Amino acid sequence: MRPDSVITIDPGAGDALAIAGGAYRILLSGAQTNGSCAIISMMVPPGGGPGPHAHKDIQESFYVLDGEVVVRSEPQTYTARKGAFINIPFGGAVHNFKNESGETAHLLCIVTPAGMDELFREIGKPIAAGSTPPSPTPPTPEVLAQMKILGAKYGQEFFPPDYFTK
């Protein structure tokens, strides 16, 4: 593909993965943008969402397309509803989000530079595009150990689930 090629993604295209109790679909990968960014569609069912984490060299932004999620960071807790925008700047702020509502939330996530898309490919389980997000389950000790290894590889730091409530 030429670097100036227009990229189009059909509705069922892109890697669909089960991650953090949700269904994520990589719409635009770092391989397609020469590493400049990645864009991920996230379907987050009730109870779904990643645990507390940080990434100092990645800017992560979310736009809520539908539903709502509760976004936590050290200085604040924010309920992001349809139409809300959240930006996690470079620098390593510890944060997470969780769907505490009774309806599936749909987020558009943009990461700069890319890399998180590759992490998602390694930690996620492939699923059919458009499938219902799997029921959230707490990660096993083996999964947590693997996430720590992969986190170091991709510049992510993971924190205990109770990080914001202790």
pLDDT tens for 27-40 read 999 999 999 999 99
Residue 2: what pLDDT?
Answer: 65
Residue 1: what pLDDT?
Answer: 59
One-letter amino acid at 104 equals T
Q: How many residues are recorded in the chain?
A: 166
Q: List the chain domain ranges.
A: 16-129+138-158
Dihedral angle sign, alpha carbons of residues 130, 133, 134, 137 = positive
Q: Is the pLDDT of residue 25 over 90?
A: yes
CATH of domain 16-129+138-158: 2.60.120.10
State pLDDT tens for residues 60-91. 999 999 999 999 999 899 999 999 999 999 99
User: What is d(CA 30, CA 71) in angstroms, rounded to the nearest whole number?
Assistant: 25
One-letter amino acid at 13 equals A
Q: Does an H or E element contain 120, and which? A: helix 116-123
Residue 152: what pLDDT?
Answer: 94
pTM for this model (two decimals): 0.93
State pLDDT tens for residues 102-160. 999 999 999 999 999 999 999 999 999 888 766 777 777 888 888 889 999 999 999 99
Residue 93: what pLDDT?
Answer: 97
